[in-house]
């Protein structure tokens, strides 16, 4: 049997890991950061969205257009308030998100069917005001269109003549998918958890073992090197899988609690979605640990290993950074590429577009195969005199 | 029984071991004596199976350590030059872990662990994590875990290095006990009194070569000196002239 005494190595590394405060802390942090941030950010976004639905519009010069103001007041969720005297300054000073200013020539021009001047003052750099500004602009345009229709009818012209185009806005992305672009960073958090959860054990059982000179005595035992490597790998992977499980399950509960319907999402993430996410990310935990072990074994010292592994942490953030430029959803050919595949599949699952089962299999097989290659390479490294004696 | 047969090993252009041939018998203590850099540690690493020699053969009870390192390791307990411990494990856990790696389990393993803990008087600290142990305590733990499988051959690389008087005596007593049990003990040292007091046979190594072999008296007679130290200096010096 090739993997003799594997259990002894696994048990020892688990015991050592559980007693190591650093490995427990990294497990905890990696599991909690994602869900906490998700909860926080989504409640903020939802709050902002709600504030756009129930909008209060400061209007200056209401007396110049009483009919228009009445119409505004009748719209659901709209409250008209008196605007500040110095409208531009109020917006610049952030006392108001926007101000509608009705010109004193409004009623005169309006009655003569000349375009009546209305100014909307807003600050384009303010993201938080954007949904509200969009809402008010839509209201103003709708009023304009309604009046135009009435005028044409009064002139005996069919309003259809004035509308050469019949524009139907058909949104292809489901509302779930739209919310998924906002949820896009959840896969990154879960994949990060795979990278952080087992990091300490992966480093401590390789570079750490050499640093405290316990590596040579360990290798004096009549155990095949592959058993040592696989035992250590499984211990690190167990921690990484635990981090993934915690992170995914907590994210799941966080999403359930977030008022997503306020964001216009008909959102449904149930147990099948959670299970799919786990099926994608758990193989990733094994790969992350294998990669970290290989690097930590290759490094000349513990310090060197830590700096390499610090750089490695950028890897799971790469797809997240790419996503806004190059959308990774619905790209089945990415499945066999570790990390990218996971990112893409999780995004699809969260977007309510369950990928076919074979893609899950492809992603898992490719990821585990890569991990096994790395483990085979690490086993080779464990035979090298330079690695054993630090030459 | 441990046999070295014309072992050679170089690191780049440095020839660490030129030609090492000797035999360490069962029921005897064989001392490997040599100045720093003579090739003692390299020879022992080759014996451990962790380093491949450029030429020659090493056998442990007839098992070739190069061709079958695991077989040789199973017949041998070794305290290497560097013998670090796991700071978060207790002495008991250290010994048990190595026992498991040798395929021991259950009651037999626990009995061996208990036996070693009392033999090396580690009882008081057996359940404590080794982080913060003294050098002597650490060496004892490392020794205990190397002996858990009751090896017929015991190899110790400078076991008393840096130990205080009490720990040194404990290690020397242990070496005598192992000899009485009929095991083959091979240890390296550069402490003359220790080698002279303990060894049935002394192998003097200098510049990667065995320059003399025999009991303390034989070496003194051969060189015409009154102490082992003078004999050693004369042997090593001769080799130095030859190499130059």
Hey, where are the domains in chain A?
6-45+177-389, 54-162
pLDDT band for position A215 (50/70/90)? very high
Rounded to the nearest angstrom, the minimum Cα separation between A212 and chain B is 5
pLDDT band for position A175 (50/70/90)? very low
Q: Which two tokens stand for residue B5?
A: 């047969």
A220 to chain B: which residues are within 8 Å by CB? 48, 50, 73, 76, 78, 80, 146
Residue B127 CB partners (closer than 8 Å, separation 6+): B90, B92
User: Within a 10 A sphere around the Cβ of A66, how many other Cβ atoms?
Assistant: 11
Characterise B151 by phi-psi region: left (phi > 0), alpha (psi -120 to 50), beta (else). beta
B70 to chain A: which residues are within 8 Å by CB? 222-224
Characterise A60 by phi-psi region: left (phi > 0), alpha (psi -120 to 50), beta (else). beta
Residue with tokens 């040292």: B189
**Residue with more model confidence, A161 or B20:** B20
Three-class HEC string of chain A: CCCCCHHHHHHHHHHHHHHCHHHHHHHHHHHHHHHHHHHHHHHHHHHHHHHHHCEEEEEECHHHCHHHHHHHHHCCCEEEEECCCCHHHHHHCCCCCEEEEECCCHHHHHHCCCCCCEEEEECCCCHHHHHHHHHHHHHHHHHHHHHHHHHHHHCCCCHHHHCCCCCCCCCCCCHHHHHHHHCCHHHHHHHHHHHHHCHHHHHHCCHHHHHCCCHHHHHCCCCCHHHHHHHHHHHHHHHHHHHHHHHHHHHHHHHHHCCHHHHCCCCCCCHHHHHHHHHHHHHHHHHHHHHHHHHHHHCCCHHHHHHHHHHHCCHHHHHHHHCCCCCCCCCHHHCCCCCHHHHHHHHHHHCCCCCCHHHHHHHHHHHHHHHHHHHHHHHHHCCCHHHHHCC
Strand partners, A78: A55
Does position A290 have pLDDT exceeding 90, yes or no?
yes
Residue A125 CB partners (closer than 8 Å, separation 6+): none
Number of residues that this document lists for chain A: 391
Q: What is the pLDDT of residue A231?
A: 96
Mean pLDDT for B143-155 is: 96
A215 to chain B: which residues are within 8 Å by CB? 84
Mean pLDDT for B46-74 is: 94
Domain boundaries, chain B: 2-75+152-243, 83-150
**Residue with more model confidence, B244 or B144:** B144
Residue A79 CB partners (closer than 8 Å, separation 6+): A54, A55, A56, A57, A73
Q: Inter-chain contact B50–A16, Cβ cutoff 8 Å?
A: no
Q: How far apart are CA B49 and CA B70, in angstroms?
A: 8
**Residue with more model confidence, A79 or B74:** B74
Highest CATH level, class, for A54-162? alpha beta
Q: What is the pLDDT of residue A307?
A: 93
| Mean of pLDDT over chain A | 84
User: Within a 10 A sphere around the Cβ of B131, how many other Cβ atoms?
Assistant: 10
Does position A264 have pLDDT exceeding 60, yes or no?
no
**Residue with more model confidence, B71 or B238:** B71
Interface of A with B in 201-220 (CB under 8 A): 212-220
Residue of chain A minimizing CA distance to B53: A385
Residue of chain A minimizing CA distance to B149: A221
B81 to chain A: which residues are within 8 Å by CB? 216
Q: What is the pLDDT of residue A185?
A: 73
Residue A111 CB partners (closer than 8 Å, separation 6+): none
State the distance between the two ends of chain B, measured CA to CA, in whole angstroms: 34
**Residue with more model confidence, A144 or A3:** A144
Strand partners, B209: B19, B206
Find, among B92, B58, B93, the residue nearest to B78 by Cα: B58
With a pLDDT cut of 90, the percent of chain A lying above it is 32
Q: What is the pLDDT of residue B193?
A: 85
Q: Inter-chain contact A222–B146, Cβ cutoff 8 Å?
A: no
Find, among A199, A262, A190, the residue nearest to A31 by Cα: A190
Residue of chain B minimizing CA distance to A16: B88
pLDDT band for position A27 (50/70/90)? confident
B127 to chain A: which residues are within 8 Å by CB? none
> Can you say how many angstroms the Cα of residue A91 is from the centroid of all Cα atoms in its chain?
32
Q: How far apart are CA B72 and CA A50, in angstroms?
A: 75
Which CATH superfamily, name and number, covers B2-75+152-243?
P-loop containing nucleotide triphosphate hydrolases (3.40.50.300)
Q: What is the pLDDT of residue B23?
A: 95
Mean pLDDT for A280-286 is: 93
Q: Which two tokens stand for residue B43?
A: 């020879």
């Amino acid at each position: 049997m090739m993997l003799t005494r594997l259990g002894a190595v696994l048990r020892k590394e688990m015991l050592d890991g559980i007693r190591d405060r650093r490995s427990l802390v990294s497990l905890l942090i990696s599991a909690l950061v994602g869900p906490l941030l998700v909860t926080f950010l989504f409640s903020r976004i939802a709050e902002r969205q709600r504030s756009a639905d129930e909008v209060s519009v400061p209007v200056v010069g209401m007396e110049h257009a009483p009919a228009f103001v009445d119409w505004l007041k009748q719209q659901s969720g709209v409250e008209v308030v008196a605007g500040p005297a110095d409208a531009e300054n109020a917006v610049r000073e952030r006392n108001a998100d926007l101000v509608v200013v009705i010109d004193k020539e409004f009623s005169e021009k309006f009655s003569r069917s000349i375009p009546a001047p209305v100014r909307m003052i807003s600050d384009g750099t303010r993201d938080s005001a954007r949904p509200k500004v969009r809402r008010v602009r839509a209201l103003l345009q709708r009023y304009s269109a309604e009046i135009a229709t009435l005028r044409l009818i009064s002139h005996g012209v069919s309003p259809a003549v004035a509308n050469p185009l019949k524009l139907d806005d058909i949104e292809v992305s489901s509302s779930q998918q739209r919310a998924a672009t906002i949820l896009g960073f959840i896969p990154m958090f879960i994949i990060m958890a795979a990278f952080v959860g087992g990091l300490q054990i992966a480093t401590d059982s390789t570079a750490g073992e050499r640093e405290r000179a316990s590596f040579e005595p360990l290798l004096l035992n009549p155990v095949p090197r592959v058993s040592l490597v696989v035992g250590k790998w499984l211990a690190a992977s167990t921690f990484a899988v635990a981090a993934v499980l915690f992170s995914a399950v907590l994210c799941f509960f966080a999403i359930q609690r977030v008022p997503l319907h306020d964001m216009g999402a008909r959102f449904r993430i149930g147990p099948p979605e959670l299970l799919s996410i786990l099926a994608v990310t758990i193989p990733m935990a094994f790969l992350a640990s294998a990669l970290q072990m290989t690097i930590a074994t290759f490094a000349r010292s513990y310090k060197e290993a830590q700096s390499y592994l610090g750089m490695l942490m950028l890897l799971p953030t790469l797809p997240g950074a790419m996503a806004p430029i190059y959308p990774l959803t619905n790209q089945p050919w990415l499945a066999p590429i570790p990390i990218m595949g996971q990112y893409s599949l999780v995004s699809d699952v969260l977007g309510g577009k369950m990928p076919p089962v074979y893609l899950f299999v492809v992603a898992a097989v490719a990821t585990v195969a890569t991990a096994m290659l790395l483990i085979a390479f690490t086993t080779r490294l464990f035979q090298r005199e330079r690695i054993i004696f630090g030459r | 029984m441990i046999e070295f047969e014309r072992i050679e090993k170089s690191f780049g252009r440095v020839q660490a071991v030129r030609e090492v041939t000797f035999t360490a018998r069962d029921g005897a203590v064989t001392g490997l004596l040599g100045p720093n850099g003579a090739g003692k540690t390299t020879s022992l690493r080759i014996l451990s199976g962790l380093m491949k020699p450029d030429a020659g053969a090493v056998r442990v009870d007839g098992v070739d350590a190069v061709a079958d390192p695991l077989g040789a390791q199973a017949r041998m307990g070794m305290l290497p030059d560097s013998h670090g411990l796991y700071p978060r494990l207790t002495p008991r856990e250290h010994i048990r872990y190595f026992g498991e790696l040798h395929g021991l389990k259950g009651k037999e393993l626990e009995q061996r662990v208990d036996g070693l803990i009392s033999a090396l008087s580690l009882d008081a600290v057996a359940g404590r994590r080794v982080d913060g142990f003294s050098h002597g305590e650490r060496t004892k733990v490392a020794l205990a875990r190397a002996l858990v499988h009751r090896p017929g051959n015991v190899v110790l690389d400078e076991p008393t290095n840096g130990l205080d008087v009490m720990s040194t005596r404990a290690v020397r007593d242990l070496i005598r006990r192992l000899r009485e049990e009929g095991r083959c003990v091979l240890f390296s040292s550069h402490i003359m009194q220790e080698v002279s007091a303990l060894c049935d046979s002394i192998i003097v190594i200098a510049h990667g070569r065995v320059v003399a072999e025999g009991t303390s008296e034989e070496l003194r007679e051969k060189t015409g000196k009154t102490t082992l130290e003078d004999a050693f200096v004369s042997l090593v010096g001769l080799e130095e002239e030859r190499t130059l």
